[in-house]
């Protein structure tokens, strides 16, 4: 079950579309959907989590806590809407595209994809692009 929670004024335009899309991504990666919670917040909230749980004193767009059991995905995905908006502006992309990238990025981590090396980053980016296209094509 995919749920969306809001600690800020931001609200997804169509939760059902995003939930269906994330479910498709999970199935495409040969995993089962467990409990996935998206929590949309601001920079301050995510910074506090970053310091408290990861000991990183930096801003970030996403922090995901992975509770996956075997092939069943479970987790909490915290997203800073402020950071996503700033990144969208910096990369000259639409806010919704950047938001989708961040949302699927967390799920891909749960599926075992990493992004530390150049090759891992290339694979992650290709997966993100393919799944963003899936979302756009379904709308």
Sequence ranges of the binding site = 105, 109, 115
Contacts of residue 87, defined as CB under 8 A and 6 or more positions apart, other chains included, come to: 61, 98
- 20 in Cβ contact with 138 (< 8 Å): yes
Residue 26: CB atoms within 10 Å: 21
Place of tokens 């995510």: 46
Task: Provide the Cα torsion 121, 126, 132, 134; round to 10°.
Answer: -150
Binding residues for Zn(2+): 105, 109, 115
């Amino acid at each position: 079950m995919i749920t969306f929670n809001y600690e800020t004024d931001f609200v997804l335009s169509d939760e059902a579309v995003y939930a269906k899309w994330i479910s498709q991504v999970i199935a495409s990666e040969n995993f089962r959907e467990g409990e996935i919670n998206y929590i949309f917040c601001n920079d301050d909230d995510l910074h506090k989590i970053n310091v408290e749980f990861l000991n990183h004193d930096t801003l970030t767009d996403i922090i995901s806590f992975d509770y996956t059991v075997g092939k069943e995905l479970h987790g909490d995905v915290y997203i800073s809407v402020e950071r996503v908006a700033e990144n969208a502006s910096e990369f000259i992309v639409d806010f919704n595209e950047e938001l989708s990238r961040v949302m699927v990025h967390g799920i891909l981590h749960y599926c075992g994809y990493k992004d530390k090396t150049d090759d891992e980053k290339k694979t992650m980016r290709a997966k993100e692009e393919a799944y963003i296209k899936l979302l756009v094509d379904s709308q």
